[in-house]
Amino acid sequence: MDGPGYVDDKDRLHARLRRIEGQVQGVARMIESDRYCIDVLAQISAVTRALQGVALELLDDHLAHCVAGALGESSGTLDAKLAEASAAIARLVRS
C-alpha cells in the first residue's frame, strides 16, 4: 500500500542512476579511444563510489521505514526484517 522505504526519493534516485549510466558509457568511450589505463581506473572508482552512494541512500530509507514500522509488527516479522537488512549491509561491506 505505502510503497518501499525510498518512495519519496524516487526522482532523486532515478536522476542519480541516470548519471551513473552516463558515467559507465563514459568509461566505455575512454576505452574505445585508448585512454590511459590509470585514467580509466580513476573513472571506474568514481562510478563505484556513486553506486555506493545510491546503495547507502536506499539503506537509510529502508532502515527508517523498518523502525517506523516496528510499532505495528510482531517480533518474528521484525527479526526477519533485521536479518534481511544485516545481510544486505554485509553484501555492501564485502563488495
* Residues at the interface with a second copy (CB under 8 A): 3-7, 10, 13-14, 17-18, 20-21, 24-25, 27-28, 31-32, 34-38, 40-42, 44-45, 47-49, 51-52, 54-56, 58-68, 70-71, 78-79, 82, 84-95
Phi-psi region of 35 (alpha: psi -120 to 50; beta: other; left: phi over 0): beta
Output the nine-digit C-alpha cell for 93: 561491506
> Which residue in the block uniquely carries the three cell numbers 527479526?
79
Cell numbers at 12, concatenated: 532523486
**Smallest distance, a second copy to C-beta of residue 55, A:** 5
The CB-of-19 to a second copy minimum distance in angstroms stands at 10
